[in-house]
Amino acid sequence: MSKIKKCIGREGFQRINYLYQLSNLFVTENPVNHVAASMYSNLLVNISRKTVQRMEIDMKRTICKSCRCLLLAGITCKVRVKKKKVIWTCLKCRHSKVYETKDKNYKCWTQKDESLVDVFDYSVNYTTDKNKKK
């Protein structure tokens, strides 16, 4: 038996990661492709819901909740700071999201150290596979 722990839902995470990268690529190459980018973003949100896997907070905050377009500052969204609040406005649907900045030490639960339960390191597995081929 191998001692390496398997990550539950690894395929879902890989699909979410791939779709996020694809959506990012479509928007950065040509902002006219925002329809395709929002389709892939919508697909990744649906996958995370179906597989009951949470997205990374930084990933989640860059997807518009209204039209699922990828929010990239200066390309598909407008970022303004007003009265100690950061306001992200989607340029496609004009939906805005407000983030408070009063507490500078504020961290989301997933960004805190105590939220980390286990770390999966697949680099060992990768190097052993690489050595076997030689």
Query: By CB under 5 A, is residue 37 in contact with Zn ion?
Result: no
Inter-residue contact 65 to 89 (CB < 8 Å) = no
Q: In the bound complex, what is the minimum distance in angstroms from residue 95's beta carbon to Zn ion? A: 5
Does the protein bind Zn ion through residue 43 (CB under 5 A)?
no
Report 69-88 residues binding Zn ion (CB under 5 A).
Answer: 69
**Residue with smaller CB distance to Zn ion, 48 or 92:** 92
With CB under 5 A as the contact rule, which of the stretches 14-22, 29-37, 67-75, 115-123 interacts with Zn ion? Answer: 67-75
**64, 70, 76, 88: residue in contact with Zn ion (rule CB under 5 A):** 64
63 binds Zn ion (CB under 5 A): no
**Residues at the interface with Zn ion (CB under 5 A):** 64, 66-67, 69, 90, 92-93, 95
